[in-house]
């Protein structure tokens, strides 16, 4: 499988953010998108996820499921953890599994894998920032998709959380997955860098 972008132009609010951007990531690879604030890292992830339309150029996934679009084969984890505060940890993850069209099944092992096995019935409102991030990461496990688009995935994670996350990423890469991660901090895993310029 190969994810590639060719000559992508991005305009936001009438202002050019980047232009003529090329990138590539193959199965088993991590592409770390780095660069100053405002250089377009989040915008690039959102373009790949189909949440923004490029002003020019194209993004393609070769070797994926021909019947599914790229967004349908991608997980997008944004800055903010998309959780419903009144629902429990388990209910939040079950919601996402159903929303993303995952197979109905027990999501408890996914919670255990991110160290939230003890917090299953806790309302998400009570979670710490790091626990919320862990719950978002559990989404990646509850529904299998080959392309992971991650915005600052390690923010708020403690050392143990980062180690868990590295394990989760390694497993995904070993099964042929692709990761594109916007980050200011090292991911703790070998990655190719895509350096964005500009910004202020």
Ligand X SMILES: Nc1ncnc2c1ncn2[C@@H]1O[C@H](COP(=O)(O)OP(=O)(O)OP(=O)(O)O)[C@@H](O)[C@H]1O
Q: Write out the residues near ligand X by the rule CB under 6 A.
A: 12-13, 17, 35, 37-43, 182
Closest contact distance (angstroms) between CB of 167 and ligand X is 26
Helices (H), the chain: 41-48, 89-99, 108-113, 129-142, 159-174
**Cβ contact 8:17 at 8 Å:** no
Q: For residue 69, what are its two tokens?
A: 């679009």
Q: Between 45 and 169, whose beta carbon lies closer to ligand X?
A: 45
Q: Between 13 and 101, whose beta carbon lies closer to ligand X?
A: 13
Q: Between 11 and 87, whose beta carbon lies closer to ligand X?
A: 11
Q: Between 30 and 124, whose beta carbon lies closer to ligand X?
A: 30
Closest contact distance (angstroms) between CB of 140 and ligand X is 20
Alpha carbons 144 and 142: distance in angstroms, whole number = 7
Alpha carbons 160 and 167: distance in angstroms, whole number = 11
Q: Between 41 and 172, whose beta carbon lies closer to ligand X?
A: 41
CA angle (126 as vertex; 122, 130 as ends), nearest 5? 105
Alpha carbons 93 and 90: distance in angstroms, whole number = 5
Closest contact distance (angstroms) between CB of 56 and ligand X is 16
Closest contact distance (angstroms) between CB of 23 and ligand X is 14
Output the residue with the shortest Cβ distance to ligand X. Answer: 13
Q: What is the DSSP letter of 171?
A: H
Closest contact distance (angstroms) between CB of 165 and ligand X is 19
């Amino acid at each position: 499988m190969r994810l590639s972008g060719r000559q992508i132009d991005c305009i936001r609010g009438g202002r050019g953010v980047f232009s003529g951007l090329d990138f590539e990531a193959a199965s088993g690879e991590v592409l770390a998108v780095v660069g100053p604030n405002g250089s377009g890292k989040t915008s690039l992830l959102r373009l790949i996820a189909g949440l923004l339309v490029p002003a020019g150029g194209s993004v393609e996934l070769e070797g994926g499921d021909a019947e599914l679009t790229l967004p349908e084969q991608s997980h997008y984890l944004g800055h903010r953890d998309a959780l419903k505060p009144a629902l429990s940890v388990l209910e939040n993850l079950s919601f996402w599994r159903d929303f993303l069209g995952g197979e109905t099944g027990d999501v408890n092992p996914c919670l255990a894998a991110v160290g939230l096995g003890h917090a299953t019935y806790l309302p998400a409102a009570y979670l710490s920032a790091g626990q919320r991030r862990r719950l978002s990461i559990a989404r990646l496990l509850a529904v299998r998709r080959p392309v992971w688009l991650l915005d600052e995935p390690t923010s708020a994670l403690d050392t143990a959380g980062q180690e868990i996350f590295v394990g989760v990423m390694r497993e995904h890469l070993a099964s042929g997955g692709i990761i594109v991660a916007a980050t200011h901090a090292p991911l703790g895993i070998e990655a190719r860098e895509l350096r964005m310029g500009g910004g202020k």
